[in-house]
Amino acid sequence: MDELQQKHTENMQTVDEARSKALRGEIDELSRETGNAAKAAKEKLDAMSKNTAKLKSVPDSVHANSAIIRIEENQYTHLVLKLAMAMAEYQRQQSANEAYYKAQTQRQIKIKYTNPDGSAIDDSTAAQLAEQVMENDTSSYIFQQSKEVLASIIETRNDIYRIEQSMRDLNQLFNDLAFLVNEQGELMDVILANVQQSTRYVENGRAALKKARRYQKKSRKKLICVLVCGVTIVALFVVVGVLAATIKIPRTTPSPSPG
């Protein structure tokens, strides 16, 4: 999905028609791949659910495979949540892209066209004309001012059409995931709480580790200071000893007594 979003962003910004055409082809391909991957994931989830249901359908099997059933149910719930969150993000990105393309259409109309009297087109008129383009109505006399600009606007409109089509293709998947998430809401809340708690534990662990490192650095500095002081004191004693051994104090000779 990140790559798809990058392609949309580049397509919004490029002014090179050849590059824009290539990007649209890449966007279509990535959209199909995303949709197929999501559908394949949903099919695997369905198969997992059926397998668990089969194990639970036989009383003896439930007793013999209780641990396996519990693990599979937890895995299934976790994967449903993960897929639902991924598809919700995909839906959010596509909606944002659609809104941007619509705003881009209005900007193109406002900048490239003028009213019959030559005055600038206001926001309200630009929005109305953009809506007409979305409804495949380009009969307004304003659009006759530039066929080239109109062709560019239609391409942007087609970008919006493609996004809407990709969302319609996944509409059933979105509905199924919404139902599953709602059906297992309580269990989902437990999983989310566990994930959040685990995240807090990790963050607390990191904070404790940083604190321990700071203490370790302080202790190391103190140890170095003590060692330096100790070495200095020993060095002073050695110097004093050496000086005492090498410096000879002259002995005074007693003066002879008179007579």
CA-to-CA distance for 53 and 35, rounded, in angstroms?
27
This prediction has a pTM of: 0.61
Residue 259 pLDDT level (bands cut at 50, 70, 90) = very low
Tokens of 191: 């999983």
48-57, 76-85, 200-209: least confident range = 200-209
Q: Given its phi and psi angles, is residue 184 left (phi above 0), alpha (psi -120 to 50 degrees) or beta?
A: alpha
pLDDT band, residue 122 (cuts 50/70/90): very high
Average pLDDT (9-38) is 87
pLDDT > 80? residue 22: yes
**For residue 199, is pLDDT > 80?**
no
Tell me the per-residue pLDDT of 79-116, one tens digit each, with 9 for 90 and over. 888 888 888 888 888 889 889 999 989 998 999 899 88
Domain boundaries, the chain: 1-243
For 1-243, which CATH class?
A: mainly alpha
Q: Which residues, in sequence order, are bridge partners of residue 120?
A: 114
Per residue in 231-257, pLDDT tens?
A: 777 667 666 665 555 554 444 445 554
Contacts of 72 (CB under 8 A, 6+ apart): 48, 51, 52, 55
> For position 239, what pLDDT does the model report?
60
